[in-house]
Amino acid sequence: MRSLSGPLQLPIGASADTWLVVPRNPAKQGAITRVNLPDHWAGEEYQQLAIARLVDRWIKVPMEASRIHLTSAPRFMEFTPTPQPPDAATWRPS
C-alpha cells in the first residue's frame, strides 16, 4: 500500500482497505485484484503502467490490467492473473 500511495497521490496514512482489494489466492484463474482510484487521479498511460508494475511486483503473480474504469465513480483498475501457457501440447500428424 505504501508503494501505491505515491503514484495515486493518496494522503499519508491512507487505509489499505479503502484502496486495495487482494483475494486470498491472487494466482487462481478468475481472481480479481482491484485498486480503487481517487477522483483527482488523472490516469495517464504512464500512471496506469506504474500501478500495473507495482501490483505485479508486490503480488508476486504475473498480472494484467483486465479492466480500467476512469470515467465516473467508482474509479478503479482491476487485475487478473496472466494465463500461463500449458506445460505440454498434444501432437497430431497432419
Give 13's pLDDT tier (boundaries 50, 70, 90). Answer: confident
**pLDDT above 80 for 74:** yes
pLDDT-based confidence at 89, cuts 50/70/90? confident
Rounded to two decimals, what is the model's pTM?
A: 0.78
84 pLDDT higher than 80: no
Task: Give the separation between CA 46 and CA 17, rounded to whole angstroms.
Answer: 25
Cα separation, 91 vs 86, in Å, equals 13
**Percentage above 90 pLDDT, the chain:** 41
Cell triple for 28: 487462481
pLDDT in tens, 25-64: 998 988 999 999 998 888 899 999 999 999 988 888 888 9
